[in-house]
């Protein structure tokens, strides 16, 4: 089993601008009660979904609003993204989001086997320089962790705009028999499903003319 002490950091900065007093209030007063606690998981929801690296929260919030009967665990170490989601949760009184401001791998290690019904990793940091590629989040270690916590039939969705990252992801999936790639034709990975809203990072990839790859796997 991969072990957190030997894991490389897969994210960039944790903080952008200094939070305003209102934002500091959200972090101090609201984040603690909305932080995911594996000892006390959200109750009364028909499923639990996990988003790793939600960035500005566009996808997490869309899914939470469209699926009020699903509990969503959102993980993101970047404080500014967490503040955006906290603002939306408190403004719109969203009941079905729990947050982890930190490395998602810590959450995945803390939750019971077969407890996640769907997981999303949308446009993970590309780490384009060759010497940094070992920092890429989606690798065989992460897949082993996710395979443990996803129930049979659960779906894992991954998006990327980096061709060689898509290729190394698929190589990692090819040697993990617990995930089966759902692709019969190129449309299956070229076209984003309608219940997969565009994220901010994806919009940038579109503007800059990069291809996007939408990969879907089922836990066998
Ligand atoms: C390129 S951004 C994409 C953000 C968003 N998913 C989107 O599509 O706009 C990748 C995000 O993953 C986060 N991230 C990287 N490693 C992570 C980890 N181990 N756990 C949770 N989030 C992580 C980064 O902080 C960053 O916000």
Task: Give the pLDDT of the chain (220 residues) as one tens digit per residue.
Answer: 557 777 999 999 999 889 999 999 999 999 999 999 999 999 999 999 999 999 999 999 999 999 999 999 999 999 999 999 999 999 999 999 999 999 999 999 999 999 999 999 999 999 999 999 999 999 999 999 999 999 999 999 999 999 999 999 999 999 999 999 999 999 999 999 999 999 999 999 999 999 999 999 999 9
Q: How far is the CA of 122 from the centre of ligand 1 (A)?
A: 8
Choice from 83, 110, 124 to test ligand 1 binding pocket (greatest atom count within 8 A of CB): 124
Choice from 4, 7, 9, 55 to test ligand 1 binding pocket (greatest atom count within 8 A of CB): 55
Q: Which domains does the chain have, with CATH numbers?
A: 19-219 (3.40.50.150)
| DSSP-derived secondary structure for 102-168 | S-HHHHHHHSPTT-EEEEEEES-----SGGGGGG-S-SHHHHHHHHHHEEEEEEEEEEES-HHHHHH
Partners of residue 215 on adjacent β-strands: 158
Taking the CA of residue 12 as reference, the ligand 1 atom at the shortest distance is: 25
Q: How far is the CA of 20 from the centre of ligand 1 (A)?
A: 23
Whether 164 is catalytic: no
| Residue 178: partners with Cβ closer than 8 Å, 6 or more residues away | 143, 147, 219, 220
Residue whose structure tokens are 């898509």: 166
Q: How far is the CA of 212 from the centre of ligand 1 (A)?
A: 16
The CA radius of gyration of the chain, in Å to the nearest whole number, is 17
Q: What's the confidence (pLDDT) of residue 2?
A: 56
Residue whose structure tokens are 């090819």: 174
Which has the closest alpha carbon to 12: 53, 73, 70? 53
Model confidence, pTM: 0.97
Which has the closest alpha carbon to 22: 90, 73, 77? 90
Q: What is the largest CA-CA distance in the chain?
A: 51
Q: What single-letter DSSP state applies at residue 4? A: G
Distance in angstroms (rounded) separating the CA atoms of residues 161 and 164: 9
Choice from 14, 60, 77, 161 to test ligand 1 binding pocket (greatest atom count within 8 A of CB): 77
In whole angstroms, how far apart are CA 154 and each of 49, 68, 120? 9, 18, 11
Q: Which of 103, 117, 125, 161 is catalytic?
A: 125
Output the residue whose Cα is nearest ligand 1's atom 7: 201
Residue whose structure tokens are 């810590």: 106
């Amino acid at each position: 089993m991969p072990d957190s002490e030997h894991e490389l950091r897969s994210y960039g900065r944790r903080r952008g601008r200094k939070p305003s007093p209102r934002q500091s209030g959200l972090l101090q007063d609201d984040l603690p009660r909305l932080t995911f606690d594996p000892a006390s998981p959200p109750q009364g929801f028909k499923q639990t979904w996990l988003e790793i690296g939600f960035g500005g929260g566009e996808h997490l919030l869309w899914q939470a609003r469209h699926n009020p009967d699903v509990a969503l665990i959102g993980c993101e170490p970047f404080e500014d993204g967490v503040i955006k989601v906290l603002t939306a949760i408190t403004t719109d009184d969203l009941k079905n989001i729990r947050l982890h401001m930190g490395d998602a791998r810590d959450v995945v290690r803390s939750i019971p086997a077969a407890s996640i019904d769907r997981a999303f990793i949308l446009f993970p940091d590309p780490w384009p320089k060759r010497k940094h590629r070992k920092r890429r989040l989606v690798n065989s270690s992460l897949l082993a962790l996710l395979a443990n916590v996803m129930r049979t039939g659960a779906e894992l969705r991954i998006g990327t705009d980096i061709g060689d990252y898509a290729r190394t992801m698929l190589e990692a999936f090819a040697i993990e028999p617990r995930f089966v790639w759902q692709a019969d034709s190129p449309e299956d990975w070229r076209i984003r499903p309608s219940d997969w809203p565009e994220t901010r990072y994806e919009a940038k990839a579109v503007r800059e003319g990069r291809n996007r790859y939408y990969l879907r796997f089922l836990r066998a």
